[in-house]
Amino acid sequence: MFVVDCGWPTESYDDEQTAATGKSQTSKSARENPRDALSSVNWGRVDFILVSNYEQMTLLPYITEYTDFTGPIYATEPTKVYGRCVLEDGLQIADANRYLTSSNVGSTSSMQQLTENINEKNLGDGSWKTHILPYTRQDIDAAMEKVHDVRLNEIITPVPFVQVFARSSGYCIGGANWTVEYKNHRTAFISTSAFATCLHPQEWDGSILDRAQAIVFCDAVDPAEAENCELRPIPPNVQVSQRINQLCSTAISTLKKRSRVMLIGNPYGVTQDILQVVAENVISLNLPLPQFIFVSPIAERTLQYGNIMGEWLCAAKQAMLYLPEYPFADKDLRQKGHLHFVKSLSDLAAKNIPQGIWFVVVSPQDTASIDHFIRQWQLDAKQCSSADMTSGTGTASFAVLMHDDDVARAQRIVNRISASNEVTFVPVSQRLTWHAIEECLTNASDAQHVLVPSYIYSRLPASLSSKLELKILEYSYLQATVIDLDIDRHLPLSIQKEMALRLKRDGKQHAVVSGQLVLGAGEIRLESISSSSDGASDGNEGKPDVKASVSASEQLTATAAGNVRCDLSKWSPEKLANELNELGLNASVAIDGLQANPKENKLVRIVLPSGAATIRMHGGWSVECTSVNAQWAVLDSLRQVLGSN
């Protein structure tokens, strides 16, 4: 059992008051406490976690520090370092917004004093239950120590018989899609991905679909939030380039008027490309170079990571590493003294930055800083005289730009500040659309089953399944999902124990199970149990039938790839142990001390790196395993041994 990605909608942390009043457009599931969703998972049984990109680490500190999860976590190096930045940024911004908003700060001095109080608190007192985010800074440090770095195309084995490797997703620096292979069966997990190759991350690697029998699309653009979703989109490169150029054109025209620009965007991802284009155009047009100011505690680190992680960049950026220049513009701007990093508004007040033309970058989560700049620039515009404008020492206008493709969060910001200001909101969406998913499936020649989100499933053509000869299924996040039990499915260990206890009470030893499993939030139940030896359903849906048992002295039915039936009376513990040892298992014969006649009743004990198992052969066979991994290994070995004799 493993988990792919630990993200959570960030808008649930942005504005608690808006969420409480119900005025937000955020879905109900996004406003729920993440602890409620996490509590429905038995984290003690999760073997490992795969993290696709830095946006999918939101809940990782809580999982590692406040649940029973003890397994390894795998992510690429950029995902780990950027993920730490994102977590720390979210923690500080969440508390800053809460303190500053509740105090209705108006002046720079009082804002400085409050921010210093927040920094003194250090968010590490352990009282995370009083914070918006469910973890502390110490939890972030502890979680990062448990993340294993993975390179693209590197094969890892987190548990026996399972191989995992990553391919570039094209979405961000270090973004990855995962392939999980078990017994030559490959499942590809397509996380947040992008086909556009005009940005700085390494390009999409389509080989993730090679030989994948099952494909799970974990993230895609919701057509309800996309513009012109009914029309087949233009190529990704053209679409992304057009939208970035639209934002940059607005910024350049504002800078020509010697006015200020505020870009609302995180200091990584598309923001780096917009900064590059604006700086290059300002220099080529011989315009006065503005002061580029990042208000973020992590901006300086994230921009430096972009420069030093050249191997994770696109081919064009990698080629620049062999030239005497950096792939991004921040080094040149820093040398010219036009690039400034401030961790907070108090840091900005203490720093001597020339007034005039400013290009300010603020995180969309940092609502306090956004409101401060809007309020201050409005005041400057009212006090600006015509003489100031003539001399170039004043500014009467400013531009606000947004590129966040989180439409719900961006729209709330636009609604709050657009009453007296014009906001240029151009979402630069790189994620896969349903058209892109359809294109992916045409290249997946070996795919047999595909899982897509419900909002994508409704858009795909009904004839696509038959055309591509595969089965397309839909799922909803945190909703019940029905999975068919086929001949190659192992029952979860908890279900086997529940069945064993029920059957032992009725003097039975084994049951043949068919039908469906319903998996919900914290709930697993059997829909039907077969009463025939060939696995046919008895039709009693939802009512487990104890008559469905089969005499274990006559035959054994193993829930592995195919049913194995044989005469068990000819088998002795010694013979079974020898056969299992020949397969490489560490099996031995021991006395069963739980029976009335321990000298006559023996059992077979198996010790594996992933657990242990006990096989009792008297009075009917029974197999008890301490872990899911041990269960897989033992049942597969039993099938092989019994099937060959």
> Identity (one letter) of the amino acid at 187?
T
pLDDT at 593 exceeding the cut of 80: no
pLDDT tens digits along 24-51: 333 344 445 677 777 778 898 899 999 9
Per mean pLDDT, which range of 3-17, 509-523, 564-578 is the poorest? 509-523
| Mean pLDDT, rounded, for 591-608 | 74
Looking at per-residue pLDDT, the higher value among 43 and 411 belongs to 43
DSSP bridge partners of 524: 519
Looking at per-residue pLDDT, the higher value among 623 and 553 belongs to 623
Distance CA 397, CA 225 (A): 31
pLDDT at 266 exceeding the cut of 60: yes
CA 234 to chain centre: 27
pLDDT tens digits along 362-388: 998 888 888 889 888 888 877 765 545
- Among candidate residues 439, 453, 472, the one with its CA nearest the CA of residue 214: 472
Taking a C-beta distance cutoff of 8 angstroms, is the pair 455, 223 a contact?
A: yes
| Mean pLDDT, rounded, for 400-412 | 84
pLDDT at 145: 94
pLDDT at 543 exceeding the cut of 70: no
Radius of gyration over every alpha carbon of the chain, rounded to an integer in angstroms: 30
Model confidence at 226, pLDDT cuts 50, 70, 90, reads: low
| Mean pLDDT, rounded, for 252-259 | 90
pLDDT tens digits along 471-494: 898 887 655 445 454 444 455 555
Model confidence at 233, pLDDT cuts 50, 70, 90, reads: low
pLDDT at 227 exceeding the cut of 90: no
Looking at per-residue pLDDT, the higher value among 573 and 503 belongs to 573
pLDDT tens digits along 412-452: 888 888 766 788 888 888 899 888 998 899 888 889 999 99
Taking a C-beta distance cutoff of 8 angstroms, is the pair 309, 78 a contact?
A: yes
Distance CA 104, CA 36 (A): 32
H/E/C letters for each residue in 293-334? EEECCCHHHHHHHHHHCHHHECHHHHHHCCCCCCCCCHHHHH
pLDDT tens digits along 272-331: 999 999 999 999 999 999 999 999 999 999 988 887 888 898 888 888 777 766 778 888
pLDDT at 544 exceeding the cut of 60: no
Model confidence at 460, pLDDT cuts 50, 70, 90, reads: confident
pLDDT at 559 exceeding the cut of 80: no
Annotate 347-407 with DSSP letters as a single string.
Answer: HHHHS---SSSEEEEE-TT-HHHHHHHHHHHHHHHHH--HHHHHHTS--S-EEEEE--S-H
Helical spans, DSSP H, in 506-627 = 573-582
- Per DSSP, which regions of 242-391 are E strands? 260-264, 291-295, 339-342, 358-362
Taken as a whole, the chain contains a residue count of 645
Show the domains of the chain with their CATH numbers.
1-150 (no CATH), 151-220+431-477 (3.60.15.10), 236-425 (3.40.50), 480-550 (no CATH), 563-645 (3.30.310)
591: number of CA atoms within 13 Å, CB side? 6
pLDDT at 536: 33
List of residues 6+ apart from 562 with CB closer than 8 A: 487, 639, 643
In the three-class reduction of DSSP (H, G, I as helix; E, B as strand; rest coil), residue 398 is classed as strand
Distance CA 150, CA 601 (A): 49
pLDDT at 282: 92
DSSP bridge partners of 294: 341, 361
pLDDT at 139: 92
Distance CA 383, CA 395 (A): 9
Average pLDDT of the chain?
Answer: 75
